[in-house]
Amino acid sequence: MSRTTVATIHLGALRHNLARVRALASGARVMAVVKADAYGHGLERVARALDSEAEAFAVAAIADGLRLRAAGHRQRIVVLSGPDTPADIAEMQRLKLEALIHHDAQLPWLARADAARGALTVWIKVDTGMHRLGFAPARAREVHALLTAMPAIAPEVGLMTHFASSEEFEGRDTALQIQRFREATDGLEGPRALSNSAAVLGWPDARGDWVRTGGLLYGLSVVEGRSGADFGFRPAMTLTTRLVAINQLARGERVGYNGTYTCPEDMAVGVAAIGYGDGYPRSAVQGTPVLVNGQLAPLVGRVSMDLITLDLRGVPDARVGDRVTLWGAGLPVETVAAAAGTISYDLTCGMTRRVLFVDDEG
């Protein structure tokens, strides 16, 4: 028996989720966000699964665009942080990658770009309140005019903004950002793309011509207290391992590094072959849910590099070799993330190289 931790990637779930995004986004085109190795699910595998349905892919780095082109994908690919150096421009033209323009430093690079290398499609990023990337709203018109006049720039210039708090459906921040974006871009030609996953769920006003969804494609939600499943999405990753030992411990015995868990009674403690060396979060607290043969076996003691320890009192039939599920169908990764003080995206992105990835058509 192998001790390997397995991340099973459900290709059918990816396709289901994209169809669900499309239904929610009623009419908008879907830019499938596959940055960070498709949120840890594997860039090439996810792109292959979504190829016939996604009108565009979005990545964070030119290198990911290169991987997608090398794998044969022909659709539009947007690099969400744009060119970082003047040399990036020619590379983006060569690969037909679309550029995000968010800063004055990029403008002279574009002005000098060689039109003979092919027209570069660009999107202007307007900073409506996130204060990360983007031009101030008051500059959107001027930048739009500058770009449309440049010889190497394709005539259709897109307009984007990004929300800081779109998962707060009751908050005012997103409404204000939508309003600022409208005012800044009113009357300008070009497609609009505002919504990330949470905005697709909660802010129909922000739909625009394109939605840029990452999390929901993987069945992940960042809405407090709600999993992707609560919105009709299916988890695209199931993370599993095996029980490698079961110890019968006496009341008062302590478990793991620094003995942070004390057995309240004589009990069975299971040891499962996964740890932070695989990407299971070290910050997961005592009581974080884990399933053994589908039954609840809460985490006890510290997460170590290769192993975790589990309270087996609720699983009296557990045997060495039994399957342990860390997240997936039946145990939302959002629940585990909350117990580890983080978000689901952080966990799926954190799978390490020793995790074995297996494709599942379902």
Q: How far apart are CA 217 and CA 19, in angstroms?
A: 9
- Residue with smaller CB distance to ligand PLP, 88 or 253: 88
Encode 115-152: b = buried (16+ Cβ within 10 Å), e = exposed. eeebbbbbbbbbbbbbeebbbebebbeebbebbbebeb
Is 302 one of the binding residues for ligand PLP (CB under 6 A)? Answer: no
- Residue with smaller CB distance to ligand PLP, 38 or 273: 38
What lies within 8 Å, CB to CB, of 346 at 6+ separation is 281, 337
Is 213 one of the binding residues for ligand PLP (CB under 6 A)? Answer: yes
Binding residue for ligand PLP (CB under 6 A) from 42, 129, 134, 214?
214
- Residue with smaller CB distance to ligand PLP, 43 or 308: 43
Rounded least distance, CB 80 to ligand PLP, Å: 5
Tell me how far apart the 2 most distant CA atoms of the chain are, in Å: 77
Binding residue for ligand PLP (CB under 6 A) from 80, 120, 239, 336?
80
Rounded least distance, CB 214 to ligand PLP, Å: 3
Rounded least distance, CB 136 to ligand PLP, Å: 17
Instruction: Return the range that interacts with ligand PLP (CB under 6 A); candidates 71-79, 170-178, 191-199, 317-325.
Output: 191-199
The encoded tokens of residue 346 equal 């952080």
Judged by CB under 6 A, how many residues of this single chain contact ligand PLP? 11
3-state SS class at 323: strand
| One-letter amino acid of 252 | G
Instruction: Determine whether 257 is an active site residue.
Output: yes
Instruction: Determine whether 35 is an active site residue.
Output: yes
CB-based closest residue to ligand PLP: 214
Q: How far apart are CA 135 and CA 140, in angstroms?
A: 7
Decide: residue 154, CB within 10 A, 0-12 exposed, 13-18 middle, 19+ buried.
middle
Alpha-carbon distance values, 66 to 12, 43, 122, 266, 271 (Å): 25, 11, 17, 57, 42
Binding residue for ligand PLP (CB under 6 A) from 83, 129, 158, 215?
215
Is 263 one of the binding residues for ligand PLP (CB under 6 A)? Answer: no
Whether 234 has a binding-site annotation, put simply, is: no
Rounded least distance, CB 303 to ligand PLP, Å: 26
Decide: residue 362, CB within 10 A, 0-12 exposed, 13-18 middle, 19+ buried.
exposed
Each residue 83-122 as x (binds ligand PLP by CB under 6 A) or -, in order, gives ----------------------------------------
Alpha-carbon distance values, 157 to 50, 150, 227 (Å): 25, 11, 36
Each residue 9-38 as x (binds ligand PLP by CB under 6 A) or -, in order, gives ------------------------x-x---
Give the CA count within 13 Å in the CB-facing half-sphere of 247: 16
In the set 39, 125, 257, 280, the catalytic residue is: 257
Sole residue written with tokens 């840890």: 40
In the set 35, 218, 276, 280, the catalytic residue is: 35
Is 196 one of the binding residues for ligand PLP (CB under 6 A)? Answer: yes
Whether 132 has a binding-site annotation, put simply, is: yes
- Kindly list the residues in this chain that would bind ligand PLP in the complex (CB under 6 A): 33, 35, 80, 162, 196-198, 212-215
Residues tagged active-site:
35, 257
